[in-house]
Structure 1
Amino acid sequence: MPRRLSLCPGPTVAPVPFGDLLEEVGSTGLFQLFSTVLLSIPVLLLASHNLVQNFSAASPEHRCHLVQLNASRIGQDAQSDICQSFVIRQSSPDANGSTPCHNGWEYDRSVFTSTIVTEWDLVCHLQSLKSLAQSLFMAGVLVGAFILGDLSDRFGRRLILIWSLLLVAVMGCAAAFSQNFAAYCVFRFLSGVGISGFLLNYICLSLEWVPTKHRATVVSAQSYCSTAGQLLLAGLAYGIRNWRWLQLAISAPFFCFFAYSWWLPESARWLLMNNEHEAALRNLKLVARINGKAAAGNKVVLEVGEIQQINVEMLETQRGGKSPHSCLDLFRTPGLRRISCCLMFVSFSMNMSYFGLAMELSVFGLNVFLVQLFFGAIDLVAKMACALMLTFFGRRTIQAVSLILAGTFLLLSLPVPAEMSMVRLSFVVLGKGCLASASMCLYLYGGELFPTVIRQTGTSFLTVMARLGGIVAPVVLMAGSYQPFLPLLIFGVTPIISGVCAGFLPEMLNVPLLDTVEEVEERWEAKPKAAVMH
């Protein structure tokens, strides 16, 4: 017999036991499989948009166009400075010398036929502009996190996800057809906003349709897709050597993602929490039909039909006349304030160290293509190990231990002599792998700790802190010019501190997702009471 859902009389409304509803219509059926797969496919190309400038902005060998060439008079000095043109004046040989490259550059096109560097001559004094383009893309992701996280909690996960996919498709393709560098930067910035909107919603929409015991499995699978995307990008860049076609190849598929995303239903959990009961019941009935439980879906609809009897006055009484939830709710109550502050510091320190190490690895002089493949494989192995341990040891333990281990490995690399570069590299690789595990755990843990009513707002703050960490990482690396040990010291100490902070978070292993701020606070207050009783 299906479980009857009851509403307690009085000024407050009993929380809807969504886990019971999900079990009735099927919590691990075809719907969950299809929706997880459809949401995971675009993840394969997320890494491509994040890292595409490693290839589309590659700087090939180049030199100035030589003026008045005379092969018998040009020696090594003619190419001693790639930013200077060696001019030979036949009328006055003593006046030969170097001048700025007014006539443009000649590029080695044996590896890449075209990049934004060769397209717009982003070399010498314009070399920093390619970094500006990447920074503007990251700024777009940060701005999107600020704006779209709150909108997702207000207007739903599905709506923001759909239009974010369209934004990535349109702006990514527009970047491929840019006629000048300024337009390219604008389109990359806007595609970053769209990437942020998808990032914030695809995990959340997946988590809210799966049962508690399978949340770690779903997030792990999607995290594998993100890592596999790094390998996919390397393959695409190897086969497509023109930056415009490469940009188009990673952007055009998002039109397909946009088209089929209309099939994805809105989270019934979010709909129930926002008093849209008819829509929630329609979606639950759809899920039941896809999972082969149409009869059970009809019974659930009949049983929860009384939810529609709740009037607006009772809902306002429940909320105490408060305005809709906002980002202030993350810090207004003690339980959520601790969760928010701890997770934000974890996100910042973890990403600062991760991106800092990705930049620092180039000093080992390895082939860039092999480095990307090797460290992508290391990340994949680390995430697989993390997925297994999350099931047995819980989120808090894995989050704390992985961060502390990452910092420890990085600190152990400091006293290693420079001539033992492979030993030092091994410690750095282990540290980076632990950071990859911590990253996957945070995707799951953050989505579980924040309640449904502000889940996307909380996740957006974590995304903002992650991007800030990526921005700070180059500044930390600059400190190495004063004291070579400082970057690794900072990258090692901060994860250890954040790992200690993670130890103060509540465990979410086998705990149902919480829907309201009040539920979070009640659970937080119950923890010290249970500790006193024991």
Structure 2
Amino acid sequence: MSFVELLARLGGMGRFQVTYVAALAVPLLMLASHNLLQNFTAGVPEHHCRPRPMANATDVPLAVSIPWDGHHRPQRCRRFVEPQWHLLDANGSAGAAANGMATEAATEPCHDGWTYLEGTFTDTIVTEWDLVCDSKKLRQVAQSIYMAGILLGSGLFGVLSDKFGRRALLTWCYLQLGATGVGTAAAPSLPIYCLCRFLTGLAMAGVSLNSASLCMEWIPTEARAVVGTINGYCYTLGQFVLAAAAFGLPRWRQLQLVVSLPFFVFFFYSWLYVESARWQVTSGRPDLALRGLRKVAKVNGRKEEGDKLSEEALRALVRREPPLPGGAVAALVRTPGMRTVSCGVSFVWFSTSFAYYGLAMDLQGFGFNVYLSQLVFGAVDIPAKLLSVLVISCLGRRAAQGGSLALAGLCILANIFVPSELPALRMAFAVVGKGALAASFNCAYIFTGELFPTVIRQTGMGLGGTMARVGGMVAPLVRMAADVTPVLPLVIYGAAPIVSAIATAFLPETRNAPLPETVKDVERR
């Protein structure tokens, strides 16, 4: 009897599994809120230098103090050293400057700070700490530090949860995420803000990894694709929650607090979670696994079946293999089959995240209302993930994974040939590409969990998460390649998913296959 057959005897996708999946899915609503939060908390409003104070002067036109750019707007980062009264027309208006009259007057940086104009963003970390002009790179640094936290957490919590269990680590991550999120909202300075965001990123990775593994290890094989898609839709709904919360809470500290406090609620109810019986058996704790399985049987109305179980039966149920030299990390590349899986998973996760964050973290760059753009980018996930689950279930994981990556790459590359005078068409290609990447993420969570054996599944998930965060960190840097040629970033963003789609062809198909328990199971595929 296999573990899949045991779950079927204990109720299959019964009341316990439905409740468990729902409890794990609710916190996923808030993942998007934190991952994409700086689209709103770090929004950049229109701004210009604060003019020099002038004695005995009131209602002085701005053009006297601030030079205008080629778009007839005040320059953001320079001001005149001396007032340029000659730029005024005879009637005292600033018509000459507004019409682009050139001036060779000396300018200087904004020594007295900036004036931020009323608009979409009124109170962000940019306005509070003046992250503009020479300091504008610090805005991206803050996001990169957050992604670095997720990068470290993906590897760290993957290894730790294989050693100490999924539930304990998930409970801790809920608490850490809530506490550091509140700390971010109260940060008195940018360094403290960045530190709290880094720690939030650490916990975010742990929540994502352990939620996926607990779902995967408690549900029957035939329900994996549906449950994985439900979790993906929770992330999608989270993008709507973020847009609504950001629209209703224009002050960044309030928004940060609102998306962080729910994790304290998740922390308290996570004590009711049942640890993965698969992990408990493979880690030599069949007594605890027996207790958990009997609880599952009771909730599912199969108490008699639970009473028939014994520790000896569980030991025989999940085959154990002696620890491999070098530990779990070395096992990822020690055998040919594991090397193929590890390399393929790395390609998939890196390119999906790389292209995804290249699109999703540049909402202001599309020229549309940022709240509407967030809603559209979230809405496209609904049909994309629905289509992905149909392909996953009917054609298999490999076809769904490769197809979504190829489509995303082609949509991004198509924008190379669309002129900037057609922003709606560029937005349309970006939305379709983002939807394909959302489908790729949806498939990757399912596919990765099925490719790695139970004994190192969390380590393998951690590898995928690590590569995803590397992609997320590299994505903003690639935009700097536009200084070489404007289309180069799009070429790189589009080529990466296509290369990974080719790599997916070398991975084994896992549709309707039992989860591998040991490395030997992977080699036998």
* 1:326 counterpart (325, 328, 347): 328
Q: Determine if the alignment matches structure 1 residue 358 to structure 2 residue 367.
A: no
Shift of 1:506: 1.0
SS in 1 for 2:416: coil
Q: Which residue of structure 2 lines up, in the alignment, with residue 517 of structure 1?
A: 519
Q: Which residue of structure 2 lines up, in the alignment, with residue 305 of structure 1?
A: 311
Q: Which residue of structure 1 lines up, in the alignment, with residue 471 of structure 2?
A: 469
Q: List per-residue Cα deviations over 1:27-59 (Å, max 9, x = no partner).
A: 211111111111111111111111111111222
Partners of 1:411 and 1:492 within 8 A in 2: yes
Greater shift in the superposed pair: 330-339 or 405-414? 405-414
Q: Distance in 2 between matches of 1:49 and 1:417?
A: 33
Q: Which residue of structure 1 lines up, in the alignment, with residue 497 of structure 2?
A: 495
Q: Which residue of structure 1 lines up, in the alignment, with residue 405 of structure 2?
A: 403
Partners of 1:448 and 1:513 within 8 A in 2: yes
SS in 2 for 1:189: helix
Greater shift in the superposed pair: 400-409 or 327-336? 400-409
Q: Which residue of structure 1 lines up, in the alignment, with residue 20 of structure 2?
A: 35
Amino acid at match of 2:390: L
Greater shift in the superposed pair: 340-349 or 408-417? 408-417
Q: Determine if the alignment matches structure 1 residue 187 to structure 2 residue 196.
A: yes
Partners of 1:217 and 1:387 within 8 A in 2: yes
Amino acid at match of 2:244: G
Partners of 1:165 and 1:254 within 8 A in 2: yes
SS in 2 for 1:275: coil
Structure 1 unpaired stretches of 5+: 6-16, 91-95, 525-534
Q: List per-residue Cα deviations over 1:213-256 (Å, max 9, x = no partner).
A: 00001110000010111110010011112211111111111000
Partners of 1:66 and 1:87 within 8 A in 2: no
C-alpha spacing 1:492/1:85, structure 2 compared with 1 (3 Å): closer
1:406-417 equivalent positions in 2, closer than 5 A: 406-417=408-419
1:9-158 equivalent positions in 2, closer than 5 A: 17-69=2-54, 70-71=57-58, 74=61, 76-80=63-67, 81-86=75-80, 98-109=107-118, 111-158=120-167
Q: Which residue of structure 2 lines up, in the alignment, with residue 341 of structure 1?
A: 343
Greater shift in the superposed pair: 106-115 or 33-42? 106-115
Q: Distance in 1 between matches of 2:404 and 2:61?
A: 58
Q: Which residue of structure 1 lines up, in the alignment, with residue 455 of structure 2?
A: 453
SS in 1 for 2:259: helix
Amino acid at match of 1:261: S
Partners of 2:409 and 2:498 within 8 A in 1: yes
1:184-223 equivalent positions in 2, closer than 5 A: 184-223=193-232
* 1:276 counterpart (271, 285, 297): 285
Shift of 1:19: 1.4
TM-score normalised by length of structure 1? 0.87
Q: Distance in 2 between matches of 1:421 and 1:113?
A: 26
Shift of 1:364: 4.0
Shift of 1:84: 4.0
Shift of 1:419: 4.6
Q: List per-residue Cα deviations over 1:389-431 (Å, max 9, x = no partner).
A: 2111110111112222222333344344555554444334333
Partners of 2:344 and 2:503 within 8 A in 1: yes
Q: Distance in 1 between matches of 2:362 and 2:126?
A: 23
Shift of 1:285: 0.6
Amino acid at match of 1:45: M
C-alpha spacing 1:183/1:470, structure 2 compared with 1 (3 Å): same
Q: Which residue of structure 2 lines up, in the alignment, with residue 443 of structure 1?
A: 445
Q: Which residue of structure 2 lines up, in the alignment, with residue 527 of structure 1?
A: none
Q: Determine if the alignment matches structure 1 residue 377 to structure 2 residue 379.
A: yes
Partners of 1:400 and 1:499 within 8 A in 2: yes
Amino acid at match of 1:195: M
C-alpha spacing 1:234/1:420, structure 2 compared with 1 (3 Å): closer
Partners of 2:209 and 2:458 within 8 A in 1: yes
* 2:295 counterpart (266, 286, 308): 286
Amino acid at match of 1:475: L
Amino acid at match of 2:19: F
Shift of 1:474: 2.6
Q: Distance in 2 between matches of 1:414 and 1:66?
A: 41
Q: List per-residue Cα deviations over 1:79-108 (Å, max 9, x = no partner).
A: 334434556689xxxxx9654433333333
Shift of 1:322: 4.4
Q: Distance in 1 between matches of 2:28 and 2:149?
A: 18
Shift of 1:388: 1.9
Greater shift in the superposed pair: 105-114 or 394-403? 105-114
Shift of 1:122: 2.0
C-alpha spacing 1:56/1:309, structure 2 compared with 1 (3 Å): closer
Partners of 1:68 and 1:89 within 8 A in 2: no
Greater shift in the superposed pair: 219-228 or 288-297? 288-297
- Report the number of matched residues: 496
RMSD: 2.5
Partners of 2:65 and 2:82 within 8 A in 1: no
C-alpha spacing 1:309/1:480, structure 2 compared with 1 (3 Å): closer
Structure 2 unpaired stretches of 5+: 68-74, 85-104
Q: Determine if the alignment matches structure 1 residue 163 to structure 2 residue 206.
A: no
Question: Identity percentage over the alignment?
Answer: 45
Amino acid at match of 1:67: R
Greater shift in the superposed pair: 49-58 or 107-116? 107-116
Partners of 2:247 and 2:371 within 8 A in 1: no
Partners of 1:325 and 1:453 within 8 A in 2: no
C-alpha spacing 1:484/1:62, structure 2 compared with 1 (3 Å): closer
Amino acid at match of 1:305: E
Q: Determine if the alignment matches structure 1 residue 256 to structure 2 residue 265.
A: yes
Amino acid at match of 1:132: V
Partners of 1:277 and 1:307 within 8 A in 2: no
C-alpha spacing 1:362/1:170, structure 2 compared with 1 (3 Å): closer
